[in-house]
Amino acid sequence: MAGPSADPVERVVDAMNSAMIHRGPDDSGVSVWGHTAIAMRRLSIIDLTGGHQPIDSSDGRYSIVFNGEIYNFRELREELQRDGHEFRTRSDTEVVLQLFERDGSAAPARLNGMFAFCVLDRSDGSLFLARDEFGQKPLYYTARGAHFAFSSELPSLLEDRSIERRLDLEALAYYLRVWTVPAPLTIISGVRQLLPGHWLRWHDGEITTGHTSWSDARADEPITTDAAAIEAVRTTLQAAVERHMIADVDLGVFLSGGIDSAAITAAAAQTSDSPVRTFTVRWDDPDFDESRVAATVARHLGTDHHELVIGDGGFDPEAFAMVVDHMSQPLADTSLLPTYLLCRETRRHVKVALSGDGGDEIFGGYPDVIRHPTVHRLGRAVPTPLLRGGARALGGVARQPRAQGISALRTARRLLEAAATPLPDRLWAMNTSMTSTELAELAGDRVPEPDMIALKDLIASAERGSPHWTPLRQMLAYRTSFILPDQLLIKSDRMSMAASLEVRAPLLDREIAALARRLDDRMLVRGGVGKWVLREAIRPWVPAIVFDQPKRGFDAPLKSLRNRAFEDLCHDLVLGQDAPPVMGLFDQAALAHRVERVLAGHTDSATESEYRANGQVWALLVLAAWCRRFGVTP
């Protein structure tokens, strides 16, 4: 925090730091210089005794606070030592500081890891902030004239009482459409997120920003044969997992029934001298449960396996309140609760866990990614009126009470609708959770339709910058730039930090990401199957059952959450007379109709709008609960 404040800067920063004790219960520190203060909560993972923050440079000019892990810090340390730098600690934080001393704003480009950090320069009072390429670690900030404040979590930032707790209506529109708020927006007007892969310098009330350029000397050397691609993925994965296992504390792996977690577990098992500890969730609902596959993989690899059983106990208001406290800003992902419960159970055994996050984005595993080339070809081959007519016809069939193959009909209709839509709207339309018509019915013109400026800029810059801008790469770029950081990594970071557990994602290692960019599309998706090369790379390592399972996301069975407590909370927070002011933005009749249909159990019809109704009500409940909890108003 920098600049004049109504409250003493030490008091404000101390309150901000205390609000994040869950992120770092092991240690805390603060550095004050005039009207500027930086502070840190530390979860000690590397150099447990010597890594106290903030860390000052040897001449006292710079001071750093750092959140995350750098996986190539040892190599960078050796490089800096060859240049004459001396170190007082074994921590990766001091490596980042001395790298910044030498390279300035070019320093983040050398870091392979997950990070958000701030360096105070006492020579001019400036602050330099940076965030990792994929946005694994969060960074929120606000700037008003000579006042600047930042934090890893939004509720922490709101401890600065000069911030007005007002909703950003554009962010709210995004939230309602895709159930998350994409950077650089936040749900609070005047507060922003630093974009992944960007840096920011604040000096005397002026902000300069830049994009971190990660270069790869082999980027223009495509891998042309299947055998070479498989071997490259196998060896790069093994090296990445080994890097991500560097820690001075106990470590485990999240193991589901999917390919990504099996790949991480298998690579970890080959690296570790003792049985790897693995952790999974077992659901009572067979449509969501993957524990049988996870157990088979664990036996095959000889891991020390732990299961967390989540029964069909229904909605738990206390657990829901805990999740709302820690989600930082509204996120309508039903898997937040089981993610937290898994992290809490894992934390009882280890302090660091590896996850399979990023595998679908890097290697092309999602259904919309796999389908997008087909959508692109349809859009070019079939006239738009025919595509739209076909979509309407399929929608009519799907609404019939006895319609067969409802899921396939829905999929086909969405493919035709997407094919009739130009980029970038197509990428957006294939991933929305509330249609523009539904948003208008619910909020009228009080909540404007998102303009997708950031998405359009992404598409335009990628089209100009890459000769290999294929339909598959279009969808991967969309998912990597928007869905991954603003939904999946947020969930992982917030729920793991709520349990004081560090989660690392080896599949987001820079070396793996660089390798994937050198692979031909057919090595990612082949025969309608995603992640082809990753499957083939780990096939000798894991049992065949891993490849025989349908793809499942880590979602909670939302229907099982409905009980009397859920109904009561909906009536209180969403429909009640004492509902938070944000609910006044919506048409009350449309709001009540949508909620009551869900509560009455009338959401199992074949129409896609009703199919989505459960999730929409969940999103409204999360929004209302979060706004009430943090006193945010329109």
454-477 residue pLDDT tens: 666 666 665 555 556 788 888 888
Considering the domain architecture, whether residues 189 and 84 belong to the same structural domain is answered as: yes
Tell me whether residue 459 is in a domain: no
pLDDT average, residue stretch 193-199: 95
Would you say residue 485 has pLDDT above 90?
yes
Considering the domain architecture, whether residues 25 and 144 belong to the same structural domain is answered as: yes
Considering the domain architecture, whether residues 49 and 89 belong to the same structural domain is answered as: yes
Nearest to 418 by CA among 435, 404, 438, 400: 435
Considering the domain architecture, whether residues 187 and 253 belong to the same structural domain is answered as: no
**Range of weakest confidence among 15-29, 145-159, 370-384, 421-435:** 421-435
Residue 133 makes CB contacts below 8 A (sequence gap 6+) with: 196, 197, 212, 214, 510, 513
Considering the domain architecture, whether residues 195 and 84 belong to the same structural domain is answered as: yes
pLDDT category at 605 given cuts 50, 70, 90 is: very low
Give the range with max mean pLDDT: 3-7, 133-137, 565-569: 133-137
How many helices (DSSP H) and strands (DSSP E) are in the chain? 26, 16
| Distance of alpha carbon 102 from alpha carbon 79, whole angstroms | 11
pLDDT average, residue stretch 598-621: 71
Amino acid at position 14, single letter: D
Q: Which of 211, 241, 256 is the last residue of a domain?
A: 211
In which order are the strands placed within the sheet that holds 113-121?
55-56, 62-70, 113-121, 126-131, 198-203, 206-211
| Distance of alpha carbon 581 from alpha carbon 325, whole angstroms | 19
* Predicted pLDDT at 463: 56
Helix (H, G, I), strand (E, B) or coil at 62: strand
Tell me whether residue 105 is in a domain: yes
Tell me whether residue 330 is in a domain: yes
Tell me whether residue 150 is in a domain: yes
Amino acid at position 190, single letter: G
Q: Which CATH number characterizes residue 234's domain?
A: 3.40.50.620
Q: How many beta carbons lie within 10 A of that of residue 45, not counting itself?
A: 21
Q: Which two tokens stand for residue 330?
A: 């509204």
Phi, psi of 249 (to 5 degrees): -135, 170
More confident residue, 215 or 488: 488
Is beta strand 140-144 parallel, antiparallel or unpaired with respect to 147-151? antiparallel
Three-class HEC string of 380-449: HHCCHHHHHHHHHHHHHHHCCCCCCCHHHHHHHHHHHHHHCCCCCHHHHHCCCCCCHHHHHHHHCCCCCC
In which order are the strands placed within the sheet that holds 251-254?
304-310, 277-283, 251-254, 352-354, 502-504
CA 359 to chain centre: 13
Residue 566 makes CB contacts below 8 A (sequence gap 6+) with: 314, 315, 599
More confident residue, 414 or 444: 444
* Predicted pLDDT at 402: 46
| Distance of alpha carbon 620 from alpha carbon 179, whole angstroms | 9
More confident residue, 417 or 295: 295
* Predicted pLDDT at 403: 46
For the chain, the domain total comes to: 3
* Predicted pLDDT at 461: 61
Considering the domain architecture, whether residues 47 and 187 belong to the same structural domain is answered as: yes
pLDDT category at 303 given cuts 50, 70, 90 is: very high
Tell me whether residue 455 is in a domain: no
Is beta strand 36-42 parallel, antiparallel or unpaired with respect to 27-33? antiparallel
| Distance of alpha carbon 378 from alpha carbon 603, whole angstroms | 32
Would you say residue 421 has pLDDT above 70?
yes
pLDDT average, residue stretch 276-299: 87
- Residues 152, 376: contact at Cβ < 8 Å? no
pLDDT category at 404 given cuts 50, 70, 90 is: very low
Phi, psi of 540 (to 5 degrees): -70, -15
Amino acid at position 478, single letter: Y
Considering the domain architecture, whether residues 504 and 569 belong to the same structural domain is answered as: no
pLDDT category at 614 given cuts 50, 70, 90 is: confident
Q: How many beta carbons lie within 10 A of that of residue 440, not counting itself?
A: 14
- Predicted model pTM: 0.93
Q: Which of 548, 581, 610 is the last residue of a domain?
A: 548
Considering the domain architecture, whether residues 279 and 135 belong to the same structural domain is answered as: no
* Predicted pLDDT at 224: 87
Considering the domain architecture, whether residues 571 and 512 belong to the same structural domain is answered as: no
Phi, psi of 55 (to 5 degrees): -110, 130
Amino acid at position 481, single letter: S
Tell me whether residue 554 is in a domain: no
CA 69 to chain centre: 17
pLDDT average, residue stretch 367-383: 87
More confident residue, 429 or 236: 236
- Residues 85, 95: contact at Cβ < 8 Å? no
| Distance of alpha carbon 174 from alpha carbon 148, whole angstroms | 26
**Range of weakest confidence among 301-305, 461-465, 565-569:** 461-465
Would you say residue 406 has pLDDT above 80?
no
Considering the domain architecture, whether residues 115 and 69 belong to the same structural domain is answered as: yes
**Running DSSP on this structure, what letter comes out for residue 25?**
B
Residue span of the structural domain in which 594 resides: 563-634
Would you say residue 282 has pLDDT above 50?
yes
Considering the domain architecture, whether residues 193 and 291 belong to the same structural domain is answered as: no
Q: Which of 211, 240, 273 is the last residue of a domain?
A: 211
* Predicted pLDDT at 524: 96
Would you say residue 59 has pLDDT above 90?
yes
Q: Which residue in this structure is represented by tokens 């090296």? A: 239
In degrees, rounded to 5, the angle at the alpha carbon of residue 244 between the alpha carbons of residues 241 and 245 is 90
Considering the domain architecture, whether residues 156 and 288 belong to the same structural domain is answered as: no
| Torsion region of 352: left, alpha or beta (phi above 0 gives left; psi -120 to 50 gives alpha) | beta
**Peptide bond preceding 54 in cis form (omega within 30 of 0):** yes
Amino acid at position 149, single letter: A
Mean pLDDT of the chain: 88
pLDDT average, residue stretch 502-531: 95
| Distance of alpha carbon 332 from alpha carbon 620, whole angstroms | 8
Tell me whether residue 27 is in a domain: yes
Q: Which CATH number characterizes residue 69's domain?
A: 3.60.20.10
Tell me whether residue 60 is in a domain: yes
